[in-house]
Amino acid sequence: MALACVDTLYSPVEAEIARARLAAAGIEAVLFDAGIASLIGPGVSGIRLMVLAEDAARAGAVLRAPDQPG
């Protein structure tokens, strides 16, 4: 199973929101480097949002879509 990075975020909160948006769309995603980012501070080290390679195109489309009101 190959993984693909669909975004790099610099805020742990924004990274978690992006992961949750993908989960809501049925796309499993994991955050890489979130632990180190929280240790050295936001904005310094990027948090990689990873999905299965076959889900990368659809994940990118979900992330680019405007937020829908809840």
Task: Indicate the burial class of 19 (C-beta count within 10 angstroms; 0-12, 13-18, 19 or more).
Answer: buried
Number of domains composing the chain: 1
Q: Once rounded to an integer, what is the mean pLDDT over residues 50-70?
A: 90
Check whether 42 has a pLDDT greater than 70. Answer: no
* Residue 55 scores a pLDDT above 70: yes
DSSP H helices in 5-55: 12-24, 34-40
Whole-structure pTM value: 0.83
Whether 51 is in a domain gets the answer yes
| 22: helix, strand or coil | helix
The answer to the question of residue 34 being in a domain is yes
Structural domain including 56 reads 3-64
Position 58 confidence tier, pLDDT thresholds 50, 70, 90: very high
Q: E strand or H helix at 59, and its extent?
A: helix 56-64
